[in-house]
Chains A and B, each alone.
Chain A
Amino acid sequence: MNIIEVKNLNKSFGSNLVLKDINLSVEKGEVIALIGSSGSGKSTLLRCLNLLEKADHGSIIYHKKNLLSNKINIEKMRQSMGMVFQSFNLFENLNVIDNCTIACRLTKNEKKDKAEKRAIKYLKQVNMLDYAKASSTTLSGGQKQRVAIARALCMNPDLLLFDEPTSALDPESVQDVLDVIKDLAEQGMSMIIVTHEILFAKDVADRILFMADGVIVEDIKPENIFKEHSDDRVNTFLKRYNSF
């Protein structure tokens, strides 16, 4: 069963066409890794999915509704589609546990106890429970990102979007965050992950999609990622990656 289905999605900024006829479907429990050079449209695609950017035309079917029609309740839709950002974006006026509970309490009118109970569960899962009362500004990058993941999980999302979750982190913290995402994959969470961590994508993803110039040019099985591909841009990208 598809959790989200994107058909002929187009998006341009001014005269610059950044997404061209994107077609993509993600099954429940599937993990998709989106890779490709900077500027290929990966992040824009992700942002179009939860309507942080409005696609020009095409359709995004989520929970049997087209998100691009003006009949949807955007806030309700976003409550079930979590997003984790490259720059964490924790609420800086709140401590760790309040970061996790505020959205449930405000959008679902949940009682504090109930919301905190769930927050504690997820903070434990991302190994951040010891910092529950810490101010979000005092954490390191890796810690912030793990809290951001717990915050998204607290909404019980059906789909999680990751926009380069480890790009702003030091090498040591990267592994901590990747371990958390890997755990989620093993638990069957549906995820779309924009990443530059090819080995991680190979390890965790069910499919790796390569994007170039606003088009998904290859849909690759993880075990075949380092084999020869029909599109030369993929080979060049991976060759450059391997040379590091």
Chain B
Amino acid sequence: MNNIVYLLQNYYPLFIEGLYVTLLVAIIGTFGGIILGLGLYFLRALKVHFTDKSIKRLSKKFFSFLATAYIDIIRGTPMIVQGALFWYGFAAHLNMNILVAATIIIAFNTAAYIAEIIRSGVIALGIGQIEAGQSLGMSRFQIMLRIIFPQAIKNSLPSLLNELIVNIKDSSVLSIIGLTDLFYNARGAASESLLVNQAYVIVAVIYFIITFSLSKIISYVVEKKTNNKYDIKSTSV
């Protein structure tokens, strides 16, 4: 116990800085991921209509295939590998800021999951409102943007915010490319003080407090907003 107090007293700036970085990349990355995810879903769900000209037909098929392949590949590989590939293969050569790189990695990773969350949100809404929009002459883009996405996002809010919690925890894997997040800084504190177990206990407690309280806040907000009791933990990964 004394050792933990000693660590906190001497290394608290490291923990605070690390937490700041973790929250920064997770929050911006998740919101970026929501925007990218909506775009990915839109591309994935493109359908050829018989009135489409051949170029439109071909490009719809191509983009839909591309989006599907992207989602499958991202979901089928770990973020630590994606991070390493992006950083060592690309971003490091451009001297990209590590914070920017990490945010991009998180956004592009979480977008694939968010596209799937949005997809099930859209399926749950049913085809009726889409057909109503079509029958009024609205384009697919207009229907999605103004009618379907606002409802799908609202209905999927618990799952979308759960992605934020996942990203707060999983951004720790980006410490391998040198992101000075909470975990990276804790490792620094551990090796400098030689109080390895204690340092990681502190980190575990901080992660837990942040994600647990966030999940409680989210459940409260979602419950208030939708008048419907929802336990965010039931969707935690």
Residues of chain A touching chain B, judged by Cβ–Cβ distance below 8 Å, are: 50-52, 54, 70-83, 85, 87-94, 102-103, 106-107, 148, 151-152, 155
List the B side residues contacting A82 at CB < 8 Å. 135-136
**Nearest 9 interchain pairs by C-beta:** A79-B137, A103-B136, A89-B132, A83-B135, A89-B128, A78-B137, A75-B137, A93-B150, A106-B142
Per the bound structure, the CA–CA distance linking A70 and B54 in Å amounts to 10
Q: Contacts A91-B133, A107-B137 given; 12 further ones with Cβ under 8 A?
A: A51-B51, A52-B135, A70-B52, A71-B51, A76-B137, A82-B136, A83-B132, A90-B132, A102-B147, A103-B138, A107-B139, A155-B137
B146 / chain A contacts, CB cutoff of 8 Å = 102, 106
Is B53 an interface residue, CB under 8 A from the partner? yes
B131 near A107: Cβ-Cβ < 8 Å: no
Residues of B within 8 A of A (CB): 49-53, 128-129, 131-139, 142, 146-147, 150-151, 154
Per the bound structure, the CA–CA distance linking A52 and B146 in Å amounts to 20
Q: Which of B51, B131, B134, B147 sits near A72, CB closer than 8 Å?
A: B51
- B51 contacts A74, C-beta separation under 8 Å: yes
Given A54-B50, A70-B50, A102-B146: A91 touches B135 (CB 8 Å cut-off): no
Do the beta carbons of B147 and A93 come within 8 Å of each other?
yes
Within the complex, what minimum Cβ distance (angstroms) separates A94 from chain B? 8
B135 cross-chain contacts in A, Cβ below 8 A: 50, 52, 78, 81-83, 85, 152
Q: Please give, as numbers and ranges, the residues of chain A lying within 8 Å of B138 by CB-CB distance.
A: 75, 102-103, 106-107
Q: Give the docked Cα–Cα distance between A81 and B135 (Å).
A: 8
Taking CB atoms, residues of chain A closer than 8 Å to B51 are 51, 70-74
CB atoms of A74 and B131 under 8 A apart? no
Q: Find chain A residues with CB under 8 A from B142 CB.
A: 106-107
Whether B129 contacts A92 by the Cβ 8 Å rule is: yes
- Could you write out 17 A-B pairs with CB less than 8 Å apart? A52-B134, A74-B49, A74-B51, A82-B135, A85-B135, A88-B128, A89-B132, A91-B129, A91-B132, A91-B133, A93-B147, A93-B151, A106-B146, A107-B136, A107-B138, A148-B132, A155-B137
A89 to B128, CA, bound (A): 5
Q: From DSSP, what is the main secondary structure of chain B's interface residues?
A: helix
Residues of B contacting A76 with CB < 8 Å? 137
A85, A151, A155: the one contacting B131 at CB < 8 Å is A85
By beta carbon, the residue of chain A nearest B52 is A70
* CB-based nearest B residue for A92: B151
Q: Which residues of B contact A52 (CB under 8 A)?
A: 131, 134-135
Q: Which residues of B contact A106 (CB under 8 A)?
A: 138, 142, 146
Structural contact, A103 and B128, CB atoms closer than 8 A: no
Docked pose: A7 CA to B51 CA in angstroms: 19
Q: Give Cα A90 to B133, complex, Å.
A: 9
Residues of A within 8 A of B50 (CB): 54, 70
In this complex, what residue of B is CB-closest to A51? B51
- List residues of chain A with CB within 8 A of the CB of B128: 85, 87-89
Complex Cα–Cα for A165 and B14 (A): 66
Minimal beta-carbon separation of B149 from chain A (angstroms): 9
Task: Give Cα A54–Cα B49 distance, bound, in whole angstroms.
Answer: 9
